[in-house]
Amino acid sequence: MSDLHHDAAAKRSTFRSIDNRPIYWTDGKAITHICEGSECHHGVRLLWTLCQRDVPANSAFLPGDDDKVTCPKCLAATRIES
Question: What are the domain boundaries of the chain?
Answer: 3-81
pLDDT at 12 over 80: no
> Could you tell me whether strands 24-26 and 14-15 are parallel, antiparallel, or unpaired per DSSP bridges?
unpaired
DSSP for residue 14: E
- What is the value of pTM for the model shown? 0.80
Beta strand 32-41 pairing with 44-49: antiparallel
State the Cα angle at 14 between 78 and 7, rounded to 5°.
Answer: 150
Per the DSSP assignment, residues forming a β-bridge with 61 are 24
Please say whether the beta carbons of 40 and 51 come within 8 A.
Answer: no
pLDDT number for residue 5: 46
What would the pLDDT profile of 21-58 be if each residue is shown by its tens digit?
Answer: 999 999 999 999 999 999 988 888 999 999 999 999 99
